[in-house]
Chains A and B, each alone.
Chain A
């Protein structure tokens, strides 16, 4: 399976860096999209098929946690795989994100941790061991 991937981060350079990490990770990619905040990302998801969202939390306009809540509340989008890529360290907030079915990797991150987070999510989605 090749992934259609959406990178959501308010920092342009960080979007590029996440995209490069995706390439380095060896994940098969069919297309790569970018959005600068949660609102842009939602709009893109509603007009374009995306398999995997790599999501920042601290963003203006709409933050990542609000975006994730809206994705899970939308019947057509709720199955989208989401991995949060954030500086977030608050255990209560990380637990909330995971309860919404998101994977989590902490910034700074390595391409290997990205692959592992995606594999873990897919294992959960297919009913296998995480």
Chain B
């Protein structure tokens, strides 16, 4: 599992769920995020964590407009933007967990919660530049989830 694998999974969800196309530029966190949603999850062996998804104004509005199938120029309502960003974060979280930990584990995802926009922090922070704006994802693991991490599964007999 690398940051590139995670970014590919995130970009895939953005494109196929919300028709948000990556711009090809390097992503950088904007001055301020417009909306931020977190999805808490728990998994096997007491593993748990949070995936926080942040969108700037352009990306948030485009997500809602695209999920609603609005014609160009028609602006979505505030509640629509909230609901759209919630669902986007839910699908991003669901698609990131198997990239991070593999498909053998069962995870329980809590419903997305809106949180006050703040600078993203965590084990991994990724930014994706889109044609409509910027999306950020912070991967936060509580406790020590290394028992279920794909990346640290060593071949039998190898040194720790």
Q: Do chains A and B stick together as partners?
A: yes
Q: Which one of B23-31, B104-112, B131-139 is at the interface?
A: B104-112
| A89, closest chain B residue (CB) | B98
Tell me how far the C-beta of A40 lies from the nearest C-beta in chain B, rounded to whole angstroms: 15
Quick one: which of B13, B69, B80, B106 has the most chain A CB within 10 A?
A: B106
Within 8 A of A (CB), among B31-51: none
Within 8 A of B (CB), among A56-100: 58-60, 86-93
Question: How many of chain B's residues touch chain A, expressed as a range?
Answer: 20 to 34
Q: Check A116 for interface membership: any CB of B closer than 8 A.
A: no
| Contact A87:B95 (CB < 8 A) given known A13-B67, A108-B13 | yes
Q: Check B68 for interface membership: any CB of A closer than 8 A.
A: yes
Count CB-based A-B contacts (< 8 Å).
60
Q: Check A28 for interface membership: any CB of B closer than 8 A.
A: no
Judging by beta carbons under 8 Å apart, are B104 and A13 in contact?
no
Within 8 A of B (CB), among A29-72: 58-60
Q: Check A17 for interface membership: any CB of B closer than 8 A.
A: yes
Quick one: which of A59, A90, A92, A93 has the most chain B CB within 10 A?
A: A90
Chain B positions 57 through 101: 1 when the CB is less than 8 Å from some CB of chain A, otherwise 0 = 000000010011100000000001001101100110111011000
Residues of A within 8 A of B (CB-CB), count: 23
Judging by beta carbons under 8 Å apart, are B103 and A10 in contact?
no
User: Complex formed: what's the CA distance from A12 to B69 in Å?
Assistant: 14
User: Complex formed: what's the CA distance from A13 to B98 in Å?
Assistant: 25
Interface residues of B (CB under 8 A from A): 12-13, 16-17, 64, 67-69, 80, 83-84, 86-87, 90-91, 93-95, 97-98, 103-107, 109, 111
Additional A-B contact list (20), CB under 8 Å, known A11-B87, A14-B87, A87-B93 = A11-B86, A11-B90, A13-B84, A13-B87, A14-B67, A58-B109, A58-B111, A59-B111, A60-B111, A86-B94, A87-B95, A90-B98, A90-B103, A90-B106, A91-B104, A92-B106, A107-B17, A107-B91, A108-B12, A108-B13
Interface residues of A (CB under 8 A from B): 10-14, 16-17, 20, 58-60, 86-93, 107-110
8 interchain residue pairs of minimum CB distance: A87-B94, A108-B17, A108-B16, A89-B98, A11-B87, A90-B106, A13-B83, A13-B67
